[in-house]
Copies of this chain bind each other. A is one copy, B any other.
């Protein structure tokens, strides 16, 4: 359902999506999650419940879509120093955000949906940020890990710890990065 991801800006589809997403965000901020239902979301967004069912299928898919949209980064990783330093700072911030209460809830929402499309979207956002850092390293000629190394050996262990274990600390994050960094 690609129109879900890229509705024509300003079109009816985009307006419905924006209204529904906003309603979900407002309701999650003020209500108990268990009380959030599609009829209430529809009422608040001023659309019919069947519009929501037709487009998202069920509440879980809608919550996953909203969560994935919130996980979309607003800007490129900050430029602080070397590509390695930028990577360290970005990954530490990423780990902190994902380990926070809001981050965990968004991960749960994304992963609860039976359709894996929103989970793939989230992973895509992460890969996009890493690609920007890799491009900086290439430009400056710094030795740098590959995207697969970063995904498998830095991002994956961080997310595993957040989901199944204790939240990772900054030292742990730096050790993971040191391990994949090529010796220059």
Q: Are A123 and B164 in contact (CB under 8 A)?
A: yes
Q: Which interface class (under 10, 10 to 19, 20 to 34, 35 or more) fits A? A: 20 to 34
A80 within 8 A of B: no
Q: Are A155 and B163 in contact (CB under 8 A)?
A: no
Q: Are A163 and B119 in contact (CB under 8 A)?
A: yes
Question: Which A116-148 residues sit within 8 Å CB-CB of chain B?
Answer: 116, 119-120, 122-123
Question: Which A89-118 residues sit within 8 Å CB-CB of chain B?
Answer: 107-108, 111-112, 114, 116
List residues of chain B with CB within 8 A of the CB of A108.
111-112, 114
A2: shortest Cβ distance to chain B, in Å? Answer: 19
List residues of chain B with CB within 8 A of the CB of A160.
123, 151-152, 155-156, 159-160
A134: shortest Cβ distance to chain B, in Å? Answer: 18
| Given A107-B111, A156-B156, A163-B163, 15 further pairs, Cβ under 8 A | A34-B58, A108-B111, A111-B112, A111-B163, A119-B164, A122-B164, A123-B160, A123-B164, A123-B165, A152-B153, A152-B160, A152-B176, A155-B160, A159-B160, A159-B163
Interface, chain A (partner B; CB < 8 A): 34, 58, 107-108, 111-112, 114, 116, 119-120, 122-123, 151-153, 155-157, 159-161, 163-165, 176
